[in-house]
Amino acid sequence: MSPAVDQYGVFGHPVAHSLSPFIHGVFARDTGQQMTYRAYDVAPEEFTERVAGFFADGGRGLNITLPHKIVAVEVVQELTARAAHAAAVNTLALQGDNVLLGDNTDGGGLVRDLCDNLGLIITQRRVLILGAGGATRGVLAPLLGLEPAIVVIANRTPERAEALAAAFADLGVTQGVGFEYVGETPFDLIINATSASLSGDIPPIPAGAIGPQTVCYDLAYGRSAMAFVRWAQQSGCVRAVQGLGMLVEQAAESFRLWRGVRPQTAPVLAALKARIGSV
């Protein structure tokens, strides 16, 4: 028998500092949805079993965060096209016919933040993505959907950038390079999708890649984004932004998938900026 209140949550490891319970709690309150949302610390070796257990106990949907996003592809019966492109799942939703659907709302969340919250125009603009790991793969399809003039993927290990550029070439103009081959023509948007900030490193791109019109955006937020955001500010870009907006927007996309209603994101984004920092 299903519990009276629909249950949702996030599986991660570690997960204690996840902001998702706060975000979805506000969404549920603001939209009048009867639901709970909890964070579950799930070790990699128990992931598959815990997912099965959660839904067997009447759970309706899960967010999936690090380190489980890739293996989550294996536990679903259906994948959305964007999750298939990302080769990663950040949202599980139990469909009416008991089919478990895997979606990836990360790229959609980024695009919403860039276009709706920050008011950027990406179409026909030059975009540089730093990094060629899972975070980059997760956002490439929705980003290319905006039809930028080019997306250059630059990575410490150039072969990974080249492979990603080739894998997404059918969706738009892509190029994969090492950092030193990024060029001196300024980009309109530079997205940091590396985990370099965690060790205080900044990808060594040519100074000319940043101009007075360049917007710099870190997919991470808080302490993890600090090194890149500070470096970008000092490099003379027009704006340096951390990924809090993406976090809130990807959550809103998941919430809409689960509940059929899209919550307002501005109030919760303002609350998080006050808590974490306003860039």
Q: Which residue lies nearest ligand ATR, judged by its C-beta?
A: 133
Minimum CB separation of residue 41 from ligand ATR in Å reads 19
Greatest alpha-carbon span in the chain: 62
The amino acid that residue 272 corresponds to is L
Q: Is 157 in the site for ligand ATR (CB under 6 A)?
A: yes
Instruction: Give the binding-site size for ligand ATR (rule: CB under 6 A).
Output: 16
Residue from 36, 195, 224, 235 in contact with ligand ATR (CB under 6 A): 195
Shorter beta-carbon distance to ligand ATR: residue 199 or 278: 199
Residue 199 touches ligand ATR, criterion: CB under 6 A: yes
Whose CA is closest to 91, among 258, 262, 260, 265? 258
Dig out the tokens for 27 from the structure. Answer: 């969404």
Integer Cα distance of 58 and 60 in angstroms: 6
| Distances from the Cα of 29 to the Cα of 15, 181, 244, 268, angstroms | 22, 49, 20, 11
- Contact yes or no for 131/152 (Cβ under 8 A): no
Q: Which residue lies nearer to ligand ATR by CB, 132 or 272?
A: 132
Among 58, 115, 201, 222, binds ligand ATR (CB under 6 A): 201
Q: Which residue has the tokens 């690090």?
A: 66
Q: Is 69 a catalytic residue?
A: yes
Select which of 60, 69, 125, 137 is catalytic: 69
Rule CB under 6 A: choose which of 13, 38, 156, 256 binds ligand ATR: 156
Contact call for residue 211 and ligand ATR (CB under 6 A): no
Distance CA 106, CA 32 (A): 25
> In whole angstroms, what separates CA 72 from the centre of its chain?
15
In the region spanning residues 70 to 129, those forming contacts with ligand ATR, defined by CB under 6 A, are none
Residue 113, amino acid = D
> Among 20-28, 110-118, 156-164, 254-262, which window interacts with ligand ATR (CB under 6 A)?
156-164
Binding residues for ligand ATR, rule: CB under 6 A, are: 131-135, 155-157, 160, 193-196, 199, 201, 203
- Catalytic residue annotation: 69
